[in-house]
Structure 1
Amino acid sequence: MGKKQPKKITKSAALQKVVDERFQRKGGGILRREVWRNASGQVVAYNLAYINTRLCGVDNGRILGYDNNHGHHHRHFRGAVEDVEFTSYEDIETRFQEECYAIWQEE
């Protein structure tokens, strides 16, 4: 028996994109945030990314990212991808922000 595949999250007309932000960092790079909610107001899809092609030559320059595309919650870090435990979108957003700040301190 094969492993049960997670349900793919699609961004259909029933979803509303509530966040679509792109910020240029003074120190270089781009912060990208996209968030979709369903009719009940629940976050059902998200894409958070810190992109800096000068510092990362893989994964389209994505140094750090979190998203739930492809039917599962996962983290991108300098080309590596790993599944993450999902408790809430707010927890993922907080983790993303804390990791971005730590990376910027190293830069």
Structure 2
Amino acid sequence: MAEAKTTEIKQSDETHKISDKRGNGKLRREVWVDAKGRVVRYNLAYINHQLFQGDNGRVIGYDNAHGAHHRHYFGGVSPVDFVSFEDIEERFAADWSALGSGR
């Protein structure tokens, strides 16, 4: 019996420029869902080449590429416990906000 192939639909593909006054850089959000609307893949990133030149300028990011949920922070990568996509978005927002106080 053949396995059913999961179809992914890119639900969100957004890039927002951050003003120089608010820290410069850009916020990137990509989200893919399955046929039932469940998030199956995601990429959230704050990119600022002035703060960090490595990792294509990704200062902070969360994604589940390569079959594992993980966090990027100034070039370091660490695994994260996945509770829900909403939780990941909250973690990303908290990280970005905390970084803003030090920019």
Q: So what's the TM-score if we normalise by structure 2?
A: 0.89
Q: Which runs of 5+ in 1 are unaligned?
A: 1-11
Tell me the number of residue pairs that the alignment of Structure 1 and Structure 2 aligns. 96
> Which residue does 1:96 correspond to in 2?
92
What RMSD over aligned residues (CA atoms) do the two structures have, in Å? Answer: 1.3
Matched-pair contact (CA < 8 Å) for 2:6–2:34: no
Deviant stretches of 4+, over 4 Å = none
> Which residue does 1:20 correspond to in 2?
13
Matches within 5 A, 1:4-83: 14-26=7-19, 27-83=23-79
TM-aligned CA deviation for residue 13 of structure 1: 7.8
Matched-pair contact (CA < 8 Å) for 2:8–2:33: yes
Q: Secondary structure at the match of 2:42?
A: strand
What do residues 66-91 of structure 1 show as CA deviations (whole Å, max 9, x unaligned)? Answer: 00001100000000000100010000
Q: So what's the TM-score if we normalise by structure 1?
A: 0.86
Q: Which runs of 5+ in 2 are unaligned?
A: none
What do residues 18-71 of structure 1 show as CA deviations (whole Å, max 9, x unaligned)? Answer: 111000001310100000000011000000000000110211111000000011
